[in-house]
Amino acid sequence: MTRPFSIYSAALLLLCGVYLLLPWEMNSALGQHIFINIKLPIMMTCLVVGFGVCSASAALQILLKNPLADPGILGIASGASAMAALYFLLINGLGIALFLSPLILSVLLPAMCFIGALLSGTLIFKLSKRIGFNPATVILSGIAISTILAAAVAWLYLVLPPTQLQNLTFWLMGSLNNANWYSLAVACAVMLVCLFLLFQSTHHLNWLLFGEQTAQVKGLDVYRFQRKVLMLIALMVGLSVSIAGSIAFIGLIIPHMLRRIYGYNNSKIVPLSGITGAGVLTLCAIINEHFTSIPLPVSLLTATIGAPLFIWLLMKGTALHSLRNTV
């Protein structure tokens, strides 16, 4: 039971070590500055976002009884995107940025995105509650709200000045380089609490796999539990999106891959998804650092590598099950 955890954690630590330490000499002042103000924040972003997106998705797929669920489907990501578009239009485009202090500017984009994510999340809850709260209505209202917000972003595309257009495009494709210590400090603290609460409820997620009735007979207040976990997920995804933009595909592919190997026990899958997600993003950071001349958007990397991998995974079927005893 503990073996995959130790192996995956060791791999994650190794990746972090490779990313942080590889070519930099810490002796020079420049080296130290880069280490503290660029590399460390990027690594923290990888950890926070990887854990946030992947653990949340793993839980969300069980909660919504839908193996296709990922944060995009809840419409939370699109709420943040709309706010980002608004930010680039109002603050940068109209020049309000000139009147704001650097400190405020450094946290304004993440803060606005987070508010956007929470607003769209709340809207989806309210809507699904109005039409009868259950997994299907959450998905339907999520799709409806995210379509509206995507349309809003498309409208803003029309009026954005060209320079801001590029900023927005990069943000929408996800970037690990946006983070700074102010926003990370808040994100880390909140994410830790959320992860703790989510990992605590994984055995209840297991019960839910057998349907609401059975979970209820086991003594779980299903409605309250669903609401609590959905709020946690919204918070985690909102935080991730607000510091790194929307990151494609890892939320879908990683829990699936792990389930193929280890089965459906959520006490394993939810935390392992988080560790793996953080590892994959750190790998993206390493690729960006050493193998490319310009920093590539993360979604570009995750989708380019992830989608073919996913197809391979689907074709491989249950053969991966045999990996259970080796990894």
Distance in Å, CB of 211 to another protein, minimum: 3
Is 264 a binding residue for another protein by CB under 8 A? The answer is yes
> Which tokens in the block code for residue 242?
């607000």
Which of 131, 221, 316, 319 lies at the binding interface for another protein (CB under 8 A)?
A: 221
Among 17, 161, 211, 308, binds another protein (CB under 8 A): 211
Taking the alpha carbons at both ends of the chain, their separation in whole angstroms is 12
Q: Measured from the CB of residue 181, what is the shortest distance to another protein in angstroms?
A: 40
CA dist., res. 240 & res. 243, Å (int): 6
Least separation in angstroms between CB 36 and another protein: 44
Name the one range near another protein by CB under 8 A: 118-126, 149-157, 263-271, 277-285: 263-271
The region of 35-43, 154-162, 179-187, 257-265 touching another protein under the rule CB under 8 A is 257-265
Question: Largest alpha-carbon pair distance within the chain?
Answer: 63
CA dihedral 41, 47, 50, 55 (to 10 degrees): -140
Q: Is the Cβ of residue 71 or residue 255 nearer to another protein in the bound state?
A: 255
**Token pair belonging to 273:** 């998804």
CB 236 within 8 A of CB 196: no
Choice between 211 and 308, CB closer to another protein:
211
117 alpha carbon, distance to own chain's centre:
12
User: Can you say how many angstroms the Cα of residue 265 is from the centroid of all Cα atoms in its chain?
Assistant: 21
Is 42 in a helix, a strand, or coil? helix
Question: Mask: binding to another protein, 23-62, rule CB under 8 A, as x and -?
Answer: ---------------------------------------x
Cβ proximity to another protein: between 218 and 227 the closer is: 218
CA-to-CA separations, 247 to 201, 239, 241, in angstroms, rounded:
25, 12, 8
Binding-residue pattern over the window 72 to 91 for another protein, x denoting contact by CB under 8 A: --------------------
Contact (Cβ atoms closer than 8 angstroms) between residue 239 and residue 190: yes
Binding segment toward another protein, per CB under 8 A, in 147-155, 213-221, 271-279, 297-305 = 213-221
Total interface residues for another protein by CB under 8 A: 23
Closest to 205 measured CA to CA, from 243, 259, 143: 259
Cα of 98 vs its chain's centroid, Å = 31
CA distance 306 to 231: 28
Closest approach of Cβ 95 to another protein, in Å? 52
- Decide whether 170 or 262 has the Cβ nearer to another protein: 262
In the complex with another protein, which residue's Cβ is closer, 156 or 257? Answer: 257
Q: Which residues contact 260 (CB under 8 A, 6 or more apart)?
A: 313, 316, 318, 320, 321
Whichever of 37 and 214 has its CB closer to another protein, that residue is: 214
- Which residues make up the interface to another protein (CB under 8 A)? 62, 65-67, 203, 206-207, 209-214, 216-219, 221, 259, 263-266
